[in-house]
Structure 1
Amino acid sequence: MIKHKDHFHGSDLEKIEKIYGIKKENIISFSANVNPLGISPLLRDGIAKHIDCITTYPDRDYVELRNSIASYCNTELENIIVGNGSTELISLFIQILKPSKALVLGPTYSEYEREIALGGGKTIYYPLREENDFILDPNHFISKLSEDIDMLVICNPNNPTGTAIDNKDMRLILDACKECDIFVMVDETYVEFAENVNKISSVGLTRTYGNIAILRGTSKFFAAPGLRLGYAICSNTDLMQKVNQRKDPWTINSIAVVAGNLMFKDTSYIEETKNLIKNERERLFKIFEESDRFKPYWPQGNFMLLKILEDGLTSQELFDRCIKKGLMIRDCSTFPYLGENYIRFCFMNPADNDKLVTELLA
């Protein structure tokens, strides 16, 4: 097991406030990877009108909500299960599949390893290599698969590298995993920020592959981490039945049901988000690409990984410098395979992004 160091999560503003003496209201969080537009206008207006929903239990099968998700993702209702954030669903799938040995693409989110360990399983990592700009070589990766591996976990686009695996390469991986009887869990938390979602998302592959489950949430793209609404897409009927049997009833509250039915239909908000992220991604990548202090890695999501090129400057020093100006970035030294010369930041509105650029290039 790889040792993960402590770090500040994007939601740890109370800790920041206490340690640095900065009011959390004055902190711009470039660490949380949340849509800078805030919540959907349809959601903001609609929740108040539907507040009486809390006087009744939600539909136990969440049919209306699952229909909204199915329409949004262009998939089938029967292949969707909802949960109390994608975190609950990650836990449920791992609990049921009980992998004794899981392979995870790293560096990445540490919660996968934690859940696997809680079930008594062992995690091994396949490292994305810096010399390849953290882009996966599918043929080399497939050569490392073996029948003693039970589960493969992929974050796509990956956090913190921002790199992604397209459908063509994912098919190769799924075929190889099928031969080795490996189940593939794909976390698509950031896929909706990608410029070409259909090229990267594996939702369409669930129609022909039964050894894959896709997990998504509404925390990042829809700026609603407090809503705790997540969903999974999988065509493996037996597995989905087991997940449903294990899952507690009504883990999604009535307000989250109303919210989901509203936000997934807010096409103007969705399009505005995609345009904002696309424009800022291209603009900021060019700025740092032309800098001699950082190396940026082209991201498919709403955040960018930077390698510090200045001798003697560490990610912790940059974090301290930025937080004292009310700008919270992510010190990436806590991720496996990344040292003290990597930082990550998400794309906020242009004015806030300019403040961060000014501080980083000062």
Structure 2
Amino acid sequence: MIKPQEHFHGSDLEKIEAVYGIKKEDITSFSANVNPLGISPKLRTALADRIDAITGYPDREYTELRTAIANYIHADRNHIVVGNGSTELISLFIQITCPKKAFIMGPTYSEYEREITLGGGSSHYYRLEEEADFKLDVKALEKELSADFDLLVICNPNNPTSSAIPVSDMRKILDICKQKNIYCMVDETYVEFTEDINQVTSVPLAEYYNNIIILRGISKFFAAPGLRLGYAICGNVDLLREVNKKKNPWTINTLAAIAGEIMFSDEEYITKTRDLIHSERNRIYNIIKECKNVKVYPPTANFVLVKLLKEGITAADLFDAAIRKGFMIRDCSTFPFLDQKFIRFCFMEPEKNTRLLELLLEILN
């Protein structure tokens, strides 16, 4: 068996090609967590007609784009700032608030800790308990969230656990943070995949709390990571002013801005995506939970976390077996608090999902 020398990200198809000798075109990435429907059909047909827009500079204020986002998320346009992917906005927010000590809910995405470290701060993790299916206990968090923290980072729904914090609990968290003078950064990359977005999203809370910034992008739900378009929602006008001052002009190219205006209004595509993910999430969860050799955690996003209980089988073993069939899953042993017994995979088209499940269950059973 070829043992990977490193853990592969969902975008590392070229590396997979080099290690395994499999053409990247022949790989179905169950690791990237991207919408299986691909880009919006409305975008595919309309963007070509506006190609001449690249002969001019984008609007420095991105007014039409921010208006389209505001209509899509039902928020005040003046509370929205756009950037070159949510990564740029995370970096800017960290630079401006200069957190000395951050509290990160884990296991989760590593980019938060990286940016905090680059900004000169230290990161500490609040451990989401496996026994509670990685669901947050707000009272337990409050006990550990001391006043010497100045930033709380939450991914909601969380990657890789696919667990989510309801908006009712998020309000309690913001009240706690407000009392202790702590900013709260909430990454909602996967919130659009949830069964009822209104029960999870913190966007409405930005109208009432000035200590929250919410991050979103188009890489996952709109299947357009190459466009590098992200946006943040924040009701703190002073903070937004500082972000806009520090942000370089025109970090979003003209076509990406136009693409955003188009895709956020494609209601048929948005509905079709949510229906597909809802159906496959329920189907796959119900199949996996019947397997005695795994523990599956209830998913709320477009991916699921699974713990391998069968002795002698590791995440690396399953990764190797799956990639040889052209399926790329995620070995989660690099996430904080997880080990070589955890895998994650997203939901693709039903036929591909079924083929992956058959392969995994054949090995595990």
TM-score per shorter chain, which class?
over 0.9
Residue 66 of structure 2 is matched in structure 1 by 66
User: How many residues are paired up?
Assistant: 358
Residue 351 of structure 1 is matched in structure 2 by 351
Q: Are positions 1:278 and 2:278 aligned together?
A: yes
Residue 112 of structure 1 is matched in structure 2 by 112
Deviation string 1:185-222 (CA, Å, 9 cap, x unpaired) is 00000000001101100000000000000000000000
How far did 1:36 drift? 0.1
Query: Is there any run of 5+ residues in structure 1 with no aligned partner, and where?
Result: none
What are the within-5 Å matches in structure 2 for residues 1-362 of structure 1? Answer: 6-362=6-362
Aligned residue for 1:50, secondary structure, equals: helix
Deviation string 1:242-261 (CA, Å, 9 cap, x unpaired) is 00000000001100111011
Distance in 2, Cα, partners of 1:7 & 1:96: 32
* Counterpart code for 1:82: V
* Counterpart code for 2:86: S
How far did 1:293 drift? 2.0
Distance in 2, Cα, partners of 1:171 & 1:142: 13
User: Contact (CA 8 Å) 1:6, 1:334: kept in 2 or not?
Assistant: no
How far did 1:267 drift? 0.2
Deviation string 1:311-350 (CA, Å, 9 cap, x unpaired) is 1110011101111111000000010000111000000000
Aligned residue for 2:47, secondary structure, equals: helix
How far did 1:309 drift? 1.1
How far did 1:20 drift? 0.5
* Counterpart code for 1:71: N
How far did 1:18 drift? 0.2
How far did 1:143 drift? 1.3
Distance in 2, Cα, partners of 1:294 & 1:326: 22
Distance in 1, Cα, partners of 2:300 & 2:143: 25
Query: Is there any run of 5+ residues in structure 2 with no aligned partner, and where?
Result: none
* Counterpart code for 2:278: K
* Counterpart code for 2:76: E
Deviation string 1:228-285 (CA, Å, 9 cap, x unpaired) is 0000000101100000000000001100111011000000000000000000000000
* Counterpart code for 1:303: F
Aligned residue for 1:304, secondary structure, equals: strand
How far did 1:6 drift? 4.8
Distance in 2, Cα, partners of 1:128 & 1:271: 31
* Counterpart code for 2:123: T
Distance in 2, Cα, partners of 1:294 & 1:27: 25
Aligned CA RMSD, in angstroms, stands at: 0.8
How far did 1:142 drift? 1.1
How far did 1:147 drift? 1.1
Distance in 2, Cα, partners of 1:75 & 1:31: 31
Distance in 1, Cα, partners of 2:314 & 2:120: 36
How far did 1:83 drift? 0.2
* Counterpart code for 2:183: F
Aligned residue for 2:284, secondary structure, equals: helix
Aligned residue for 2:53, secondary structure, equals: helix
Distance in 1, Cα, partners of 2:135 & 2:249: 40
User: Contact (CA 8 Å) 1:293, 1:361: kept in 2 or not?
Assistant: no
User: Contact (CA 8 Å) 1:102, 1:123: kept in 2 or not?
Assistant: yes
**TM-score normalised to structure 2 length:** 0.97
Aligned residue for 1:198, secondary structure, equals: helix
User: Contact (CA 8 Å) 1:213, 1:232: kept in 2 or not?
Assistant: yes
Distance in 1, Cα, partners of 2:201 & 2:11: 27
Distance in 2, Cα, partners of 1:316 & 1:139: 36
